[in-house]
C-alpha cells in the first residue's frame, strides 16, 4: 500500500540522514510503500541547492538502486531549505514550501517530521511547528525523534512537556533503533509462537538472563557527545531496557499495539528499585585503556579526540536488573555493554535452571541464545547421550544462524521504523511511560557514580570489560555464557 506523505527532516546534512535515513526511504520506495505522491524537505543550516541535495541523496544510496534512472527519480522528490531553527521567518518559508509540495505531489496534508539534530533544539522546533502552523491539524501529523530523549528524568520531562505543546503522545515516535532490528522483533516469535518456550518463560524454569551489547569500535569521532553521555545513558537507559522489556513482559491479551504496550510499560514500572548499597554492588562501570587485538594496538579512551583530560566517563557498563513481577521476581537480568570490547556482538542468553543429574551423570543447563547481530538466529544447548555403550551425557548445540548482511534480506532498522510510522503503529517506539521509568532508575545509578561512590574500573581495549563484571556474575553463582575473549586468547590473538 502506498501512503501519500510529506517528510520534513531537520538535520538533513547530518551523518545519520546520509547513512540511514535516505537509504531507508529508498528501500521503502523500492518496495512500493511510498511512490509518486511523496516528497521530502531536508533542512539544515548549510546553504545547499536542490541539485546538491539530490546528489547527496543519490550518493547515500550506494548500490541499492537497480539503475541510475531509479535513483534520479527517487531523488527528484527531495527539496532543500536552509534553516536556522531559531529564526521564525524560516518556518514561514517552510510552511510555504510545504503547501506548494503538498499540492504538487498530492500528499493529502499527511506530514512526518524527523528531528535528527542536537536534542537542545527539539523543543524550539516543536514550538515553531505549531506557532507557524506547519502543524495545522490536517492530515496525519507525526513526529519522529532521535535519541537521546533527555539526559536525566528532569530533562526528559522538560523535553516531553515542550513536545506536548504541539503533539499528542500518540503522534510522537521516539526512536530506539534496536526495536527496529529484525531479531529483536523475533523475540516475540520465539517467546510466544513456540509452545516449548511459552510455558517455561518464567522464574520456575529460567535461572538468569544475560544481555550483551558488545562493540569493538571505540568512540570514533563522537568523543564530544560520548564524553558527556557514557555507556549507561548511551546504551542501557534505552536499548538494553527496551530489549529487557520484551524479554520480561507478560503475555499480552492480544498482539495489538495497545496490549503489547501495556505489558511493556508494566515491565518498566516493575523494575525493582535497588537500595544505594545494592546499586553499588550491582552496577559496574569501566573505561578502556590501550590494548592489543590481533597484533593491532588501540589507543586508550583518554587519548581519543575530544575527550576531557582525566575524564571519568564510563565506556563500559554492566550490572543486573530485577523485574518485580510474579513471572520473574528474583531472576537476575544481567547486562553489559562497552566500547573496544573483543568483538562486535549483540546477543541474549537465556540460562535455564539445572536439570537433575541422571544415572550419576551431570546435566548441563539448557541455554537458549538469541543472536541479534552481526549474525542473526538462535541456538539451543540440550543434553544428549554420547555415542557408545556406557551412559555419558554430552551437550549438543542446535543452531540456526546466518549472516544477515550477507543475505541482505533483513530490513534496515530505520526502514522498518519508517514503515511503522507511515502506518501509525507505535509498538516499536519508546512510550513516554517507559522513558520516564527508565530515567527514574538510571538517575540513581548516575548519582552514585558521579559521587564516585564506586570505582571506575579500567580494562584493556580488546578485553570483555573489567574483571568486576565477571566477579559480579560469579557472586550470583553463574558466569557469562558468551566468552569471545577466551576464544581470542586461546588462539594467541589477545
Residues that bind ligand BG6 (CB under 6 A): 177, 215, 234, 346
Active site residue 239: yes
Q: Of these residues, 239, 362, 402, 431, which one is catalytic?
A: 239
Residue 116, CB-side half-sphere exposure with 13 Å CA sphere: 23
Beta carbon nearer to ligand BG6, 149 or 419: 149
Rounded (10°) CA dihedral 180, 260, 481, 401: -50
Residues contributing to the annotated binding site for substrate:
177, 181, 215, 234, 339, 344
**Helix, strand, or coil (residue 160):** helix
Beta bridge partners of 284: 318
Beta carbon nearer to ligand BG6, 177 or 336: 177
Would you state the cell numbers that stand for residue 82, as one nine-digit string? 536552509
Phi, psi (5° rounding) for residue 209? -125, 140
CA distance 201 to 191: 8
Beta carbon nearer to ligand BG6, 344 or 397: 344
Helix 432-450 to helix 153-164 angle (10° resolution) is 150
Beta carbon nearer to ligand BG6, 236 or 421: 236
Q: C-beta of 236: minimal distance to ligand BG6 in Å?
A: 11
Beta carbon nearer to ligand BG6, 270 or 346: 346
Q: Are 374 and 404 in contact (CB under 8 A)?
A: yes
Query: Euclidean distance between the first and final Cα of the chain, in Å?
Result: 51
Would you state the cell numbers that stand for residue 235, as one nine-digit string? 546504551
Residues contributing to the annotated binding site:
11-18, 45, 84-85, 147, 177, 181, 215, 234, 339, 344
Q: C-beta of 112: minimal distance to ligand BG6 in Å?
A: 21
Q: C-beta of 346: minimal distance to ligand BG6 in Å?
A: 6
Helices (H), 63-199: 68-75, 88-105, 122-131, 153-164, 182-192, 195-198
- Which residue's Cβ has the minimum distance to ligand BG6? 234
The DSSP secondary-structure symbol of 271 reads B
Q: C-beta of 186: minimal distance to ligand BG6 in Å?
A: 15
Q: Are 63 and 27 in contact (CB under 8 A)?
A: no
Q: C-beta of 118: minimal distance to ligand BG6 in Å?
A: 14
Q: C-beta of 237: minimal distance to ligand BG6 in Å?
A: 10
Integer angstrom CA distances of residue 77 from 61, 74, 111 = 14, 6, 15
- CA 433 from centre of chain: 17
CA distance 52 to 80: 9
Nearest to 209 by CA among 483, 438, 481, 401: 481
Q: Are 181 and 373 in contact (CB under 8 A)?
A: yes
Beta carbon nearer to ligand BG6, 40 or 293: 293
**Helix, strand, or coil (residue 403):** strand
Active site residues: 239
Amino acid at each position: 500500500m502506498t501512503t501519500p506523505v510529506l517528510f520534513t527532516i531537520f538535520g538533513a546534512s547530518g551523518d545519520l540522514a546520509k547513512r540511514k535515513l535516505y537509504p531507508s526511504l529508498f528501500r521503502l520506495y523500492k518496495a512500493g510503500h511510498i511512490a509518486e505522491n511523496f516528497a521530502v524537505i531536508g533542512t539544515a543550516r548549510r546553504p545547499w541547492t536542490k541539485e546538491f541535495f539530490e546528489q547527496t541523496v543519490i550518493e547515500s544510496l550506494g548500490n541499492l538502486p537497480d539503475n541510475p534512472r531509479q535513483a534520479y527519480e527517487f531523488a527528484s522528490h527531495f527539496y532543500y531549505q536552509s534553516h536556522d531553527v531559531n529564526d521564525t521567518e524560516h518556518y514561514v518559508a517552510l510552511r510555504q514550501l510545504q503547501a506548494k509540495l503538498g499540492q504538487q505531489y498530492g500528499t493529502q496534508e499527511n506530514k512526518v517530521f524527523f528531528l535528527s539534530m542536537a536534542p537542545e533544539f527539539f523543543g524550539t522546533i516543536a514550538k515553531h511547528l505549531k506557532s507557524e502552523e506547519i502543524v495545522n491539524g490536517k492530515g496525519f501529523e507525526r513526529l519522529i525523534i532521535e535519541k537521546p530523549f533527555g539526559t536525566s528524568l528532569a530533562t526528559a520531562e522538560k523535553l516531553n512537556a515542550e513536545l506536548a505543546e504541539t503533539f499528542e503522545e500518540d503522534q510522537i515516535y521516539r526512536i530506539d533503533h534496536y526495536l527496529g532490528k529484525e531479531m529483536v522483533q523475533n523475540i516475540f516469535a520465539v517467546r510466544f509462537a513456540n509452545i516449548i518456550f511459552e510455558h517455561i518463560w518464567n522464574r520456575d524454569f529460567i535461572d538468569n538472563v544475560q544481555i550483551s551489547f558488545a562493540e569493538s569500535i571505540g568512540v570514533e569521532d563522537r568523543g564530544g557527545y560520548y564524553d558527556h553521555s557514557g555507556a549507561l545513558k548511551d546504551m542501557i537507559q534505552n536499548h538494553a531496557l527496551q530489549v529487557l522489556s520484551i524479554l520480561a513482559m507478560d503475555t499480552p491479551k492480544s498482539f495489538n499495539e495497545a496490549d503489547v504496550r501495556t505489558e511493556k510499560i508494566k515491565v518498566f514500572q516493575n523494575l525493582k528499585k535497588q537500595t544505594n548499597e545494592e546499586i553499588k554492588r550491582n552496577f559496574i562501570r569501566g573505561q578502556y585503556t590501550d590494548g592489543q587485538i590481533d597484533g593491532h594496538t588501540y589507543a586508550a579512551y583518554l587519548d581519543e579526540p575530544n575527550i576531557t583530560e582525566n575524564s571519568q566517563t564510563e565506556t563500559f557498563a554492566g550490572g543486573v536488573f530485577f523485574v518485580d513481577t510474579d513471572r520473574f521476581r528474583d531472576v537476575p537480568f544481567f547486562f553489559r555493554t562497552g566500547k573496544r570490547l573483543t568483538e562486535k556482538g549483540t546477543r541474549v542468553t537465556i540460562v535455564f535452571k539445572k536439570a537433575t543429574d541422571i544415572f550419576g551423570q551431570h546435566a548441563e543447563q539448557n541455554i537458549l541464545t538469541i543472536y541479534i547481530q552481526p549474525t542473526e538466529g538462535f541456538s539451543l544447548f540440550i543434553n544428549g547421550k554420547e555415542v557408545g555403550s556406557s551412559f555419558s551425557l554430552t551437550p549438543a548445540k542446535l543452531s540456526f544462524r546466518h549472516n544477515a548482511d550477507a543475505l541482505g534480506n533483513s530490513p534496515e532498522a530505520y526502514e522498518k521504523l519508517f514503515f511503522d510510522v507511515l502506518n501509525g503503529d507505535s509498538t516499536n517506539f519508546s512510550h513516554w511511560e517507559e522513558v520516564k521509568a527508565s530515567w527514574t532508575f538510571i538517575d540513581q545509578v548516575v548519582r552514585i557514580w558521579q559521587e564516585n561512590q564506586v570505582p571506575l574500573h579500567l580494562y584493556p581495549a580488546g578485553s570483555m570489560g573489567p574483571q568486576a563484571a565477571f566477579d559480579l556474575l560469579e557472586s550470583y553463582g553463574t558466569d557469562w555464557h558468551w566468552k569471545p575473549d577466551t576464544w581470542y586468547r586461546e588462539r594467541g590473538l589477545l
